[in-house]
Amino acid sequence: MRSLTSTSAAIPNLFLDVTHTHGEPSLSANSSPNRHPKTPPFKPFSTRAQSRRELLFKPPPSLRPDAVNPSFSTKTLSLLDKSLRNSLSASTIAGYSLALTRFLDFCNLEDVPPELRFPANEFVLCAFAASNAGRMSGDTVCKYISALKAWHILHNVIWKGGLRLNFILNGVKNLTPLSSRRPPRPPVNTTMLSSLIDALDLHDPLDAAVAAAASVAFWGQCRLGELLSSSRTDLSTSSRPSRRDLSMNSPHNRGSSYTLFLPRTKTKQRGESIALVSQMGPSDPLHLLRNHLRINNLGPMSPLFAHKTPHGSYTLTKRQFIIRCNTIWSKLGYPHTTGHSFRIGGTTELLLSGVPSDVVKTMGRWSSDSFVRYW
């Protein structure tokens, strides 16, 4: 059986050697003389993540500059490439590129001819999807197919996935192993949030920042990645809010609201604003934000949830935040909670409180109606 260790070295050339045919190629189960009786588990892709991300933007020969239009200037072609590379978020690019390596590993293992890989023949797409049946979740396989479709769209190459592929994906979903089915993530509720605030020392710089971040994530229906960094030494504010991104709408009215500008969100690379209004009880985001700003004495360019330590100021990280919250909740008998639980918890609370669903959708910046599942 062919070793998969050589796959990574061959991947870049596969994108450059794509051959387009005018006819519709076909592939049958007996088209290769050396069929493998069983597909082994994929080995991890060995090249660096940066190289892997480049796969998504490797064009077929038909999109090379000299094949498109030799009269286009270098500047125009450069802007075209720059626009394509900024059409997706960094996390989406990483995920899609990993899916491409999975597809190429599969094609190498099954001796799929290059002309059937890109543009991908529907039979090949169906076979690739079905090869994961019973060992991966249907949602994961659908994401793999979405990544392949994105590659075709990015390079203006015809997408041949059709109704048969949809049937295969439905079958893969029905064959999802129980080990891949995650139980629904429990949302944070107001009781949990109040218990957390009561257990935190609001005079401590770290706890003051945790309390403020928890309340903002909950009542602002925020993703933690929109508020907190992954590194405690990351003091940049290009993708996370700074102190100056928080403004009070009516400075003379203590019961007014705050507007918080998020420099970057999952769906808006240029950012968007959220409104934070006063709430009853200990989880009031306005009170907790004022306390945090007073305790940590942040400058206008400091990350909003930075906190003081004896060695200087550091950014509150997502991991640090979740660990602090779960340490308190576990002692109170609550199950392990993830960052997304704050967003869905705030959405659930607003819906159950009678806030109109269209208002909740706007406040939570939901791009679809998927939020109604939390009703």
Provide the residue ranges of all domains of the chain, joining segments of one domain with +. Answer: 4-180, 190-374
Residue with tokens 């993830």: 338
**pLDDT surpasses 90 at 206:** yes
Tell me what pLDDT residue 204 has: 94
Please give the Cα distance from 71 to 54 (Å, whole number).
26
356, containing H or E segment: none
Q: Are 174 and 147 in contact (CB under 8 A)?
A: no
Length of the chain as a residue count: 375
Cβ neighbours of residue 290 under 8 Å, at least 6 residues apart? none
Of residues 253 and 11, which shows the higher confidence score? 253
| Residue 262 CB burial class (10 angstroms; 0-12, 13-18, ≥19) | buried
Please give the Cα distance from 110 to 275 (Å, whole number).
53
Rounded to 5 degrees, what angle do the CA atoms 232, 331, 280 make?
Answer: 75
Comparing 30-34, 88-92, 138-142, the range with the smallest average pLDDT is 30-34
Rounded to a whole number, what is the largest CA-CA distance in the chain? Answer: 80
Please give the Cα distance from 110 to 38 (Å, whole number).
10
Nearest Cα residue to 55 out of 87, 14, 116: 14
Please give the Cα distance from 359 to 177 (Å, whole number).
38
Cβ neighbours of residue 50 under 8 Å, at least 6 residues apart? none
CA dist 295 → 105, 201, 298, 317 (Å) = 53, 11, 9, 18
Tell me what pLDDT residue 213 has: 94
Mean pLDDT of all residues in 167-184: 80
Domain 190-374 classification at class level = mainly alpha
Strand pairing category for 312-315 and 272-277: unpaired
For residue 189 the two structure tokens come to: 């509720």
Please give the Cα distance from 64 to 18 (Å, whole number).
12
DSSP 181: -
**pLDDT surpasses 60 at 2:** no
Residue with tokens 């592929």: 165
The pLDDT mean for the chain works out to: 77
Tell me what pLDDT residue 169 has: 93
Comparing 41-50, 70-79, 289-298, the range with the smallest average pLDDT is 41-50
Rounded to 5 degrees, what angle do the CA atoms 213, 218, 223 make?
Answer: 75
Backbone phi and psi for residue 317, each to the nearest 5 degrees, phi listed first: -95, 160
pTM over 0.95: no
Please give the Cα distance from 129 to 229 (Å, whole number).
35
Mean pLDDT of all residues in 341-364: 77
Identity (one letter) of the amino acid at 100?
L
Q: Are 195 and 220 in contact (CB under 8 A)?
A: no
Nearest Cα residue to 371 out of 363, 88, 143, 272: 363
Reduced to 3 states, what is the DSSP secondary structure of residue 125? helix
Tell me what pLDDT residue 73 has: 82
**pLDDT surpasses 90 at 166:** yes
Tell me what pLDDT residue 360 has: 72
For residue 317 the two structure tokens come to: 């990280």
For residue 23 the two structure tokens come to: 């006819």
Cβ neighbours of residue 350 under 8 Å, at least 6 residues apart? 221, 359, 360, 363, 364
Q: Are 240 and 227 in contact (CB under 8 A)?
A: yes
Tell me what pLDDT residue 197 has: 94
97, containing H or E segment: helix 90-109
Buried b (16+ CB within 10 A) or exposed e, 348-362: bbbbeeeeeeeebbe
Mean pLDDT of all residues in 209-232: 89
Q: How far is CA 375 from the centre of its chain?
A: 23
> DSSP readout, 170-190?
HHHHHT--GGG-PPPPPPP-H
Tell me what pLDDT residue 326 has: 93
Of residues 271 and 234, which shows the higher confidence score? 271
